[in-house]
Structure 1
Amino acid sequence: MTCALCKNREADKKNTHFLTDGIIRSCLNLDGSKEREKGFYFDLSNDNAFIEFNFQRGTSVDKLKSSLGRDVTDEEIEKAKSIPFSVDNVFCSVCESYFTEIETKFISEILPSFRNADLTGKDRINLTDIKTVRLFFYIQVWRTAVCDDTLKISADVAENLRLIILNHSTVNANELSHYPIAITYLQTTGDEAEYTTNYVGFTNDRNPNLIIMNDFVIQFYENPDTVKFFNFYGLTTEQNYKELINFSEQQFVVNIFQNSNRKQLLKDFITTDRVKLTIQYYVDSFEELWLKLFGVYPPVQTTQEYLKALTGGDEFNVLKYTKENIMEITVKFIQIKIN
């Protein structure tokens, strides 16, 4: 297989993180540490009602049971053998060194302005090193689009980003700045374990393409004509979103989302995008099953009773179920109703 970046050498590199490991690792680890293979995460882009819960090989079984509220399945244990947000044999070792060069410069020179910095009361930071910042976030967008079908960008944009990254040593800031991009930093205060409350994932069901990678959120637009306001849980407002989109900029602006707002965003995100949609999925499935069994849709009261049996009074419980759990609860509920 030929390397996706240089399109010349053999893709011989194993375990290439398409979302930078040094950024997401503290989110995936149980205690927020920088150790590898001790974390778990959710697939934000999964359109199935059954949450794709994933964990890494070193994760504590007790912690998993506590988080899930159930035993870990054999399928999940098998999946744990893979390393999240990484791929094998997509890039070559030489091109991997290009990625490392870009990532190292960002982490050493830009990241300290955010992590462990006092951002209290700040609503934005202006960065002068446009090249380092844009290259870093471009590799997140491009590698994700190459490595995961969930995030899609047009062929022309993908090819242009490839050439920019491949020629990163000679490209200048002006050549980099014609893609609108907005970056938000989610201020994460407290001890290191607080990073585990953040998310890692991406979605293409909104305009723009959006990537959440721990304490950074990327909003990438393919061209200026597609730029418009969309409400992502208060990340930006109709009044300020244009100011926070970087396009042919002289300085690169980063939106600062204060810690209290971050917590509310994460709560709203998981409630709206997962709990409510999952519950609606279960309701629809239950009503279709009832129709097939009895020839009519269930009375509203019956559906409400089913939801109560499903959630136990706490809607967040629906995130813990496997398909087998749902089948057991549904069969038991129907048996009780017909006996």
Structure 2
Amino acid sequence: MNCLLCKENEANQTGSHIFTHSLISKCINEQGKNGRDREIMFGFSQSGEKSLFVGRKVLPDNLAEVLGRELTDDEIENNTNGAVVDNIYCSNCEKLFGIIESDFSSKILTNIRDNGIYSYEYPNNILIRLYFYIQIWRASSYSYNDWCLPNKAIEEDLRKYIYEGCLGYEKGLSGSFIKEIVKYPLIVNYLETPEEESSSNLIFIPKTNNPFRFFLCDFVIEFFEDSSNKPLFSEIQNYHGLNDDISEKDINYYEDTFIIRNIANTKRKKIIDSYCKEEYVVGEIKRIQDLFVTEYKKINKRIPTDETIAKFSLEIAFGAGEVPTFQALSDERIETVVKKYIEF
């Protein structure tokens, strides 16, 4: 298989990250731990399928605190990090990614997180675009969690920008390239997050389009596929309160200065809570209800009453408030509650 970026060399690189590790590590690593192999990641595909990955250096006590239990045999057997891939890119292109990732980390990421600098002029606006285009394109080209850009011409545009941009970044980029790469409207939101709350942020791609959204730890990227016009901020979907006070300056489009939109911690928590309650928890409870009805009919040869379904649902939902959501809606707890009501 040839490398997805250059399309020429053999895809010989192993251990490639779909999302840059320094971008998401605060969200996935054990609290206070740095480096790789310390991840605890919960994943959800576009179809709602759940997955779990635990890094090999995660301490058992910390894992028990998060999950409320030890790993099952199936989880140990299927313990694969879906955000790390083998033989998709070549070693040369992995080094090209590294040029942009390293420069972004030192020039942009640190200044945003530590110094509160949210405005960047050329050439840093190009660096920001290249960096986040890399995240979007890698997710799409690999179909991360079953997601990809529906318009393959746009995916190809991003690939060309990344490849040409990485190759020419240190030598100097052409004027035509600089004009071309800024044509897609892009919003970069930074979520102010206290260090002790960093693990409460999310890494996922919701089912939205125009803009496509990417929750990447303390950043939310909004990418618009229509390059012909700057979108009207008044027409942008207000996703769980994310965009309720957006302004025109927050939309980067043929920009001279790239603006990072800063979102205060109080609002960050409301956005995360809204998503968890209105989409994840509600969706999971509906799925669990359907499972309960199916199992109830199978055992009792009749459909449960509305009252029984309501009581079951309340117990599931109430549990989601008593323990961490992943524990409350885990397969083990669901099975326990289902058996309780079927046996009753």
Q: TM-score range by the shorter chain?
A: 0.7 to 0.9
Is 1:252 paired with 2:289?
no
Counterpart pick for 2:153 among 134, 153, 156 = 156
Farther off after superposition, 295-304 or 228-237? 295-304
SS in 1 for 2:203: strand
Counterpart pick for 1:147 among 117, 134, 142 = 142
> Which stretches in structure 2 are left out of the alignment for 5+ residues?
none
Whether the 8 Å contact between 1:130 and 1:173 is mirrored in structure 2 is no
Aligned to 2:52: 53
Percent identity, please. Answer: 28
| 1:43–1:207 CA distance, 2 compared to 1 (3 A) | farther
Deviations 1:95-114 (A, max 9, x none): 11110011111111111221
Q: For residue 211 of structure 1, report the CA deviation from its aligned partner.
A: 1.2
Is 1:218 paired with 2:224?
no
Farther off after superposition, 227-236 or 308-317? 308-317
Q: Which amino acid aligns with 1:253?
A: I
Aligned to 1:202: 205
Aligned length: 326
Counterpart pick for 1:301 among 297, 302, 307 = 307
Is 1:35 paired with 2:35?
yes
Q: For residue 276 of structure 1, report the CA deviation from its aligned partner.
A: 1.5
> In structure 2, how many angstroms separate the alpha carbons of the residues matched to 1:46 and 1:33?
30
Deviations 1:198-252 (A, max 9, x none): 2222234444221111111111111146944112221112x52543221111211
> In structure 2, how many angstroms separate the alpha carbons of the residues matched to 1:311 and 1:218?
31
> In structure 2, how many angstroms separate the alpha carbons of the residues matched to 1:291 and 1:205?
36
SS in 2 for 1:144: helix
Counterpart pick for 2:131 among 128, 136, 150 = 136
| 1:179–1:291 CA distance, 2 compared to 1 (3 A) | same
Aligned to 2:101: 103
Aligned to 2:240: 233
| 1:205–1:328 CA distance, 2 compared to 1 (3 A) | same
Q: For residue 126 of structure 1, report the CA deviation from its aligned partner.
A: 2.1
* Structure richer in helix, relative to its length: 2
Q: For residue 70 of structure 1, report the CA deviation from its aligned partner.
A: 3.0
| 1:296–1:83 CA distance, 2 compared to 1 (3 A) | closer
Farther off after superposition, 137-146 or 309-318? 309-318
Normalising by the residue count of structure 1, what TM-score does the alignment of the two structures yield? 0.87
Normalising by the residue count of structure 2, what TM-score does the alignment of the two structures yield? 0.86
> Which stretches in structure 1 are left out of the alignment for 5+ residues?
120-124
Deviations 1:5-53 (A, max 9, x none): 11111111111112011111122111243221112122244533x6423
Farther off after superposition, 256-265 or 28-37? 28-37
Larger RCO: Structure 1 or Structure 2 (Cα < 8 Å, ≥ 6 residues apart)? 1
> In structure 2, how many angstroms separate the alpha carbons of the residues matched to 1:284 and 1:143?
35
| 1:138–1:41 CA distance, 2 compared to 1 (3 A) | same
